[in-house]
Structure 1
Amino acid sequence: MSERRDESSPLAPSRAMTTRLDLMTLRLFVSVVEHGGIVRAAQSEFIATSAVSKRIQDLESALRTPLLVRQRQGVIPTEAGNALIRHARRLLRAMAEMETELLSFADGERGNVRVMVSESALTDFFPTGVKAFSEAYPNIFIDLVGGLSPSIQRAVADETADIGVLVGSVTEPGLEVSPCRFRDLLVLVMAPQHPLAQSGSLRLNQLAGHPIIEQEPNSSVQRLLRSEAARTGTALQARIRVASFEAACNMAAEGLGVGVVPMGFARRIASYQPLVIVHLDEPWAHREYKVCVKQRDQQPKAVELLVSYLTRGGPLA
């Protein structure tokens, strides 16, 4: 005689769990966490707030554990919620990958790629690079945003970005790092009346005594300047701190100090601003970008195509 399964046993699978863990509910849960609130998620998904709230409540009931902490300013995931968000993102990503791969047989290569890059890359080589890639793969949509190195690495690690492009060290565990095909050159920018404006090139120690326009503390350029100044014993005098290369160039043009920015960016600003570009005679001024990705061999083909293009030139080289 066959044994009768005890549905009340804690080891027995929950019928509610199997019925509530559907893709729509998981997608809504991810949206709620990413938007920090049910109302904003509902607006983003074009669904009634009450429907989203009911889905989340049913999900928590089915899993028999709280997934969100409700606060005045929104919601944050509990420890169980963080575990679910990791699994949900992987599952939704796998479904999207399956759909993309199957559609590619009929319509050619297609898909969505989320890319997070440093500001220097975003304003330097990426416009040209993205244009060339997009012309070769018109059905691949690139969602491109800028950020600082630490946030880029975290975004790739937690899979909110597929690809990260940055300069400097990659310290986030679990990421695969490859050299990028693109490089940049850091230069000095200053007003035409600056005492150093007529110099053909300058070493870092020659900036001692002249006001420097600092970048954000966590930016790759600022960290590099701090490191090299400490290594060489150069005392850099900071007058002002800005949050972008454009702001650094604008301040330099007004005579507020010397800025350190990528050459491509400096040339564009100098085309309409009274700005002098001076070569920075330091080996570290030649910077190599890095491309980081998580589990490259498991990425959708659209992601792999862009990684290949960024690291080896891919099919466009």
Structure 2
Amino acid sequence: MNAMATTPRRTVDYRIDPFDLHLFSAVIAHGSITAAAEAVNLSLAAASARLKALEDATGARLLNRSKAGAVPTDAGRALARHANRVLTELESLHVEMASFGRGLRGTVRLLCNTAAMSEALPRSVARFLYHHPEIDLDVRETASDAALDALRRGFADIAVVADHVDTTDFIAHPWLDDRLVALLPRSWPMGRRRTIAFGELLEHALVGLPCDSGLSRFLAAQASRSGRIPRHRVRLSGFDGMVQLVAAGVGAAVMPESAALRFRADGTRMLTLTDRWASRKLLVCMTSQGADLAAVRALADSLLSLKPPLLALAKVRG
């Protein structure tokens, strides 16, 4: 008799609690067990006990603990990759089962750059949320490269990015045109010029968004290529306030063309940036695993099927 045919199959012992994976992911995100315990509403003692049980279940040391915090071991990093996928699948399960019973909800994590967050997304996601009451959205702004990194590591489900980043490893769909323009005080002696290079704009004082915004980080990176550092007189949290300060003669600004047109004010002049990177296209990106999830796919389909009216303004000059 074939010995292999008589060998009983080993029963896999599924002893890992999904909540423990959630706790472990929080430790990786926050860098300490104390902060992670607070984030998931556990006492420090309870969190430590659950993490010890998780290490026992996996048979490996997952964290190196010190007074400075906790960092994952090689085994911990491997578990973190699997944990992100498992938790994402569980979220998708909740979303799909919501149609069969009440009380189950799901959340899709969406990261986007500044232009998408301020101009395109608000009206786009409104329709999606109306038609999908069982799905919530966690929307956050970040730079395009950081958004793709979070997508790759499983910390996001969809990313809306500018096409200057490498999307080779992702499913990427073209979405909207996103042109950056320069807004200058009309009192500045620019003659009848209609264009300006970003390098020339750096000779002037600037009005900008907070330094940690995606657009500010992108512009700082472009300036650094020529060894320059932009000089900002003031930073504000929104394009409307920036336009008002430009009109008052405080400085120049770089912003999406749609924002410059929407918040246009007397005393400002819009010039086209001649730099190639100023004309971009926004892309809707997912991983192949994310595209298999019903909630993620539904949001992507909704975004791609609707062209926000605000971006259409950029095609009208006046």
TM-score by length of 2: 0.76
How far is 1:82 from its partner? Answer: 0.6
Q: 1:80 aligns with which of 75, 81, 85?
A: 75
Distance 1:251 1:81 in 2: 49
Q: Who is 2:131 aligned against?
A: 136
Question: Which one-letter code corresponds to 1:111 in the other structure?
Answer: G
> Structure 2 unaligned runs (5+)?
4-9, 308-318
For 1:40, the equivalent position in structure 2 comes to: 35
Picking from 297, 303, 311, the partner of 2:304 is 311
1:271-308 Cα offsets, whole Å, 9 max, x none, are: 5xx75131316484443101111115753211101111
Question: Does residue 59 in structure 1 map to residue 54 in structure 2?
Answer: yes
What is the identity, as a one-letter code, of the residue corresponding to 1:264? S
- 1:219 is the counterpart of 2:253: no
Q: 1:296 to 1:237 in 2, by over 3 A?
A: closer
CA distance in 2, matches of 1:64, 1:209: 56
Match of 1:150 among 141, 145, 150: 145
1:261 aligns with 2:255: yes
Match of 2:294 among 271, 287, 301: 301
Does structure 1 retain, via aligned residues, the 8 Å contact 2:158–2:296?
A: yes
* Residues in 1 aligned to 2:14 and 2:188: alpha-carbon distance in whole angstroms: 70
Residue 189, structure 1, aligned to residue 190, structure 2: no
- The alpha carbon displacement at 1:48 in A equals 2.1
SS in 2 for 1:279: strand
Superposition pairs of residues 74-113 of structure 1, within 5 angstroms: 74-106=69-101, 111-113=106-108
The percentage of aligned residue pairs carrying the same residue is 26
Partners of 2:202 and 2:79 in 1: how far apart?
54
Decide whether the 8 Å contact of 1:239 with 1:256 is kept in 2.
no
Flag the 1:236–1:249 CA change in 2: closer, same or farther, 3 A: farther
* Residues 247-286 of structure 1: pairs in structure 2 closer than 5 A: 249=243, 252-253=246-247, 255-267=249-261, 269-270=263-264, 276-280=268-272, 282=274, 284=276, 285-286=278-279
1:162 aligns with 2:157: yes
CA contact (8 A) 1:212 1:237 kept: no
Mapped to 2, the partners of 1:178 and 1:102 lie a distance apart of: 28
Whether contact under 8 Å (2:94, 2:105) holds in the other structure is: no
Distance (whole Å) between structure 1 residues aligned to residue 136 and residue 115 of structure 2: 22
CA spacing shift, 1:117–1:209, aligned 2, 3 Å: closer
| CA distance 1:23–1:205, shift in 2 (3 Å) | closer
Instruction: Describe the shift of the 1:184–1:203 C-alpha distance in structure 2 as closer, same or farther (beyond 3 A).
Output: same
Q: Relative to structure 1, is the Cα distance of residues 244 and 200 closer, same or farther in structure 2, using a 3 angstrom cutoff?
A: farther
5+ long unaligned stretches in structure 1: 4-12
Task: State the 1:206 CA deviation.
Answer: 9.8
Deviation at 1:226, TM superposition (A): 7.1
Deviations 1:13-53 (A, max 9, x none): 8x9x9464222222221222222222222222222221110
Q: CA deviation at 1:110?
A: 6.3
SS in 1 for 2:98: helix
Q: Aligned-residue CA RMSD in angstroms?
A: 3.8
Aligned to 2:311: none
Q: Deviations over 1:240-290 (max 9, x none)?
A: 38697748657645645432211232345545xx75131316484443101
1:178-225 Cα shifts (integer Å, max 9, x gaps): 101x323322212232222x6462242894784263976983445567
- CA change 1:276–1:71 in 2 (3 A) is farther
Q: How many pairs are equivalent?
A: 292
Q: CA shift at 1:170, angstroms?
A: 3.0
